[in-house]
Chains A and B, each alone.
Chain A
């Protein structure tokens, strides 16, 4: 029998090789001679080495590949509806998607914008295709996530909160953390923001918890849509990680950059930890109904994805190029999750201010307690009473837990990450330009006072960004009645009185809180209050704050 003919053999013809194709495409650029391009994006780095393209993919293959991925995503969404996914999905989980999906499209599109920066700063044109694909990828992520949210809104039992999503993003006391994340991708020193903070830290390290670990938890809660969309999103991230690493390698070649790289890797790692672990840790641990003791806790996931994968195989090798890596920060971040209850305390904070949210948070119950105690021994002793109180105070007309006599001390905000300073023993303050600021930790203090400044260790850093705006949400509403603040934010249902946020998952109208139930409580800014204290009283307050608190059962 003769060798079998295949269609491929019949129609195959010699084509252009990938290396030749990418060579020709990289040669599309030229050095302008008629009009010089102004360097629009400020940076204090020097970049002279042309970054290489690690992916060697061209747009002709990229677009069909992405369309195919899209077809699978949209097909799966249709199938989920045909399979009546929402009949079995856990509302506790979907409610947290109101927060997550309000935040994430803005960082995504900010990443698209930041490709303008890297495209202009990278010498040569080898990596331009990589940046182009990343730009279009991020456009994909932003709009595919808006589409997913719309889909939840149209098919989930309680659409309130999804319906105001982008407005809520701009106003909420929790999404302010996400705005810090997204703005940091594209503001300030162009390399700091777009390469180190976005590509080297956020995409290389923390998308694993964002886009891999979280979808797994979604599936455990009957939500097959989130994994479908976000694993498709994550499949684009490997390209972005490659772009980031290639750019980093070209920056590393210049010894003058090493001091700035040390600064930026330190700032970026720590702030990504503060922000991503706060949000995603809480969603994974507290947004789930699945209490399988064999599954990994967020602390275990973090150790696998961040400590083993990222720290050991990505950050540590940078030392051989002469970059100082702050090992203590990595260990401290892990300790904050494992030993200091960082995620649990953030969940406590989100639930303490449930009325200021645009999603529901229900109480954790006995089944949850058992799992937490199994994964985090000692958990019940520290947090059990809080959640039992929360359950008791979840009926309309109860006292708001924020203001109840439980021993809870509403936290200061960290001026750098905007996450509350929940690990009380790490709380610190400092003065910058004659004004007092509060920080969640020493690295956050360093970030504001030393990294985000016009000079770093004697070196002028005019391109570095500055923290600005009305950064502290509690300052904005200091002295306001809770009900008035909720109305001002627009977190009220269409009947004009029922809150979007509820401290339970009951869908009975009689169980739902209204503005009248929360009126009469006044928001106070801890920072303003601290600044008004005398130096002695302030020192006493800080000492007391660092001691923490013990929750009393009510």
Chain B
């Protein structure tokens, strides 16, 4: 290797070595930052996926066999007068994504290793072991379905900002599905008779999980990529995901001598807060669109009307799980009410509707 050494200071190729037209143009100048200054996320994200409005002089130069171009606005029923305005509130790019995911992986690994080293899984209450085996085992498939549906959805957005937000969401969901799978596989090494295949049977056959599976299959089967995003983050997450994770596992585990499950699951709650912020920002932008806002509101309302009954029924079908631990510390009615309140807060934030989701009468069980 023979790196050149320039002769003197005058030949330095460092910034500021010479002043000439353009020598101080040291920021990406082809887009408007959302705030006063461009963020790092914006610099590495905005306009990397181009389009004929920005800046494809020659338009898309390959099309599908039916003439549809590489990217099309027609891939969702929602319309925007400017798709390029969207910025993901979590500002995620590769470095922050790996830092966050890696931290979570390390945290979960430490929790599981330490719990197993301390013999904790052997001390789980026997009834609780069955709950984990059957219901956490089933729930991991729901997370996987959400992740795979978003993996498909990240192909279709009209801008890089939309697609990357969906991509990282998919990455979080698929990591969680694997976290849960590996966690159950590892505690199975310590708990006699723990059957890791029970969860999938419950997912495919148990009446408790069938409406949830239907909802997740709706997300996987929807043709509109933002319909997929809506089902996952507006309906599945508050009514099933948070309900089961925060409303049940994280409350009920400790009295069963289980301190590891809440830690493994807890990362998903923080994941969701970020993904929810991204989702609300996008749908709120579309509802507030001066030209298409009203039509968008109707589309979102239609999606809500179509899937909300499945989602609420799926949530109520989970109720028997709350009765299965020997020590009953969590109340389904309370958790369900929280989920409904959360859902209403989300749709209010999006600006879609003032719809009150019906709250069925639920009997509360005495806590022990």
Contacts and interface: CB of A to CB of B under 8 A. Distances in A.
B196 interface: yes
Interface stretch (A146-154, A272-280, A387-395, A538-546): A146-154
B356 interface: no
Nearest to A176: B58
A115 B61 contact: no
Contacts of B353: none
B30 to A, nearest CB: 4
Given A116-B154, A139-B97, A466-B62, A508 B28 contact: no
A83 to B, nearest CB: 11
A435 B306 CA distance: 49
Contacts of A154: 15, 26
Nearest to B184: A24
A292 B181 CA distance: 55
A41 to B, nearest CB: 8
B255 interface: no
A142 B30 contact: no
A187 B70 CA distance: 5
Contacts of A489: 57
Interface stretch (A160-168, A246-254, A260-268, A421-429): A160-168
B148 interface: yes
B355 interface: no
Nearest to A493: B22
Contacts of A463: 64-65
B217 interface: yes
B182 A183 contact: no
B94 interface: yes
Interface in A420-464: 454, 461-464
A42 B64 contact: yes
Interface stretch (A84-92, A315-323, A344-352): A84-92
B367 interface: no
B221 interface: yes
A183 B68 CA distance: 13
A34 B214 contact: yes
Contact of B44 (A20, A94, A150, A220): A150
Nearest to A15: B186
A67 B102 contact: yes
Interface stretch (A56-64, A303-311, A371-379, A527-535): A56-64
B364 interface: no
Interface stretch (B103-111, B239-247, B294-302, B328-336): B103-111
Contact of A30 (B21, B26, B141): B141
A166 B50 contact: yes
A203 B106 CA distance: 31
B256 interface: no
A494 B57 contact: no
Contacts of B175: 59-60, 63
A159 B3 contact: no
Given A58-B182, A147-B44, A476-B57, A220 B2 contact: yes
A171 B54 CA distance: 10
A188 B62 contact: yes
A107 to B, nearest CB: 10
Interface in B146-190: 147-148, 151-156, 160, 163-164, 167-168, 170-171, 174-175, 177-179, 181-182, 184-186, 189
Interface string B54-86: 111111111111110110000000000000000
B12 interface: yes
B203 A179 contact: no
B179 A466 contact: no
B359 interface: no
Interface in A109-142: 109, 112-117, 119-120, 128-129, 131-132, 135-136, 139-142
A58 B178 contact: yes
Contacts of A476: 57-58
Residue among B47, B67, B214, B218 with most chain A CB within 10 A: B47
B61 A146 contact: no
A24 B185 CA distance: 8
A467 interface: yes
A139 to B, nearest CB: 6
Interface string B24-57: 1111111100000000100111111110001111
B144 A184 contact: no
Given A63-B101, A220-B3, A221-B4, A462 B65 contact: yes
A169 interface: yes
Contact of A21 (B28, B57, B108, B185): B185
B23 A167 contact: no
Nearest to A91: B13
B50 to A, nearest CB: 5
A24 B164 contact: no
Contacts of B186: 15-16
A494 B22 contact: yes
A112 B2 CA distance: 37
B70 to A, nearest CB: 4
B21 A63 contact: no
Contacts of A34: 213-214, 217-218
B37 to A, nearest CB: 14
A36 interface: yes
B22 A42 contact: no
B23 A158 contact: yes
A193 to B, nearest CB: 9
A471 interface: yes
A465 B63 contact: yes
A369 interface: no
A508 B20 contact: yes
Contacts of A495: 21-22
Contacts of A155: 14-15
Nearest to B141: A28
A9 interface: no
B340 to A, nearest CB: 23
A28 B214 contact: no
Contacts of A141: 94
A166 B97 contact: no
Given A116-B151, A471-B61, A135 B22 contact: no
B87 interface: no
Residue among B98, B104, B196 with most chain A CB within 10 A: B98
B61 A418 contact: yes
B125 interface: no
The 8 closest A-B pairs by CB, nearest first: A170-B55, A160-B22, A493-B22, A35-B221, A116-B155, A469-B59, A67-B102, A146-B44
11 contacts: A70-B94, A88-B5, A129-B174, A144-B94, A147-B44, A166-B30, A187-B69, A188-B65, A290-B2, A466-B64, A472-B58
Given A28-B140, A28-B141, A157-B16, 9 more contacts: A35-B220, A37-B220, A136-B171, A140-B98, A147-B40, A150-B28, A164-B30, A170-B54, A498-B22
